[in-house]
Amino acid sequence: MGNGQDWIRQEVKVEERRARHGPSLSLIALLVSLPGGNQAMTWILLLWLSPAYLQAGNSAGSNKVKDFGVNQTARLSGVQGGSIEIPFSFYFTWELAKDPQMTIYWRWKHFHGEFIYNSSSGFIHEHFKDRLVLSWTQPQTSGVLRILDLKEKDQTMYFCRVQLNTITHTEKWQSIPGTHLTITHGTEWKKSGKNQPLNLGTKVGLAVAAAVLLAGVLGLIVFLGWRRRKRQRTKAETPARDLIENTEKVEPEGQYMDPKENPKDNNIVYASIALSSSASPGTPPCQPVHGNPQEETVYSIIKAK
């Protein structure tokens, strides 16, 4: 009897060590198979071992995967004076309230560091004034934190924190590893030879600059074409204007001349008489027409000295 009890005690000690890694059914089967005289001791040992098994069960359950968390990029690098985007996403299994009131916070330097951003109140840390932009809207579970005009002091750790309302309570959780941001100078970035993708702000700026440049070039082309057409129109109008002015200054040939004003040459006086076919005595004589002998008669008179 004593030898059997000693053996059982040794087996119990072995199973206690095994219980730290999980419950075992081998000892339970052994105790149940003992002769009937030892049934009382068997049940006592089972009751004594039960706390160890329960503790082992809790230990095993504690290793299960969490049903909530925040994902962030582990490391990022930005150029001083430029901008950087820190992507994030979060997940959970709770049932949300009708109005979950999701809020995104950001901390820097360490896990319990100062808050630098609050999506609900619009708070921005003084160091990041006018330099933080959060691209995220409720109820999305992912977004991007953009830091503009990077400074040397921005090189540190950043942690995203999430808060929301479930149907029973309010939950808050935060990224544990966070994102480590490294700031480099422009020369160092060029020497490294690493091509980083352009962020959204830079792409928009380049597109706007290209559109403005294109509009300026088109405007210049239109202006030069308009000036060229204006010069051609001016050159075409100048000869016509000169011709009209010269024509107005030339007196028509064969117009009526007063006999008193006719020149004298060799004591010969020339006079012209215009014939009029009008029967009305008050009608003035018609102007002679050059080259029409039927409407003009010239008389000459010779006077001796």
Predicted local confidence at residue 236, as pLDDT = 72
Q: What tens digit of pLDDT does each residue of 259-277 get?
A: 454 554 555 555 555 555 5
* Residue 256 or residue 78, greater confidence: 78
SS3 state at 69? strand
What is each CA distance from 91 to 6, 37, 167, 172, in whole angstroms? Answer: 54, 57, 16, 12
Provide the terminal-to-terminal Cα distance of the chain, rounded to the nearest Å.
195
pLDDT band at 20 (very low <50, low <70, confident <90, very high): very low
- Delimit the domains of the chain by residue range: 2-61, 69-192, 198-250, 259-302
Please check whether residue 51 is in contact with residue 155, taking contact to mean a CB–CB distance below 8 angstroms: no
- The model carries a pTM of 0.44
pLDDT mean over 186-201: 59
pLDDT band at 233 (very low <50, low <70, confident <90, very high): confident
Specify the CATH architecture of the domain 69-192: Sandwich (2.60)
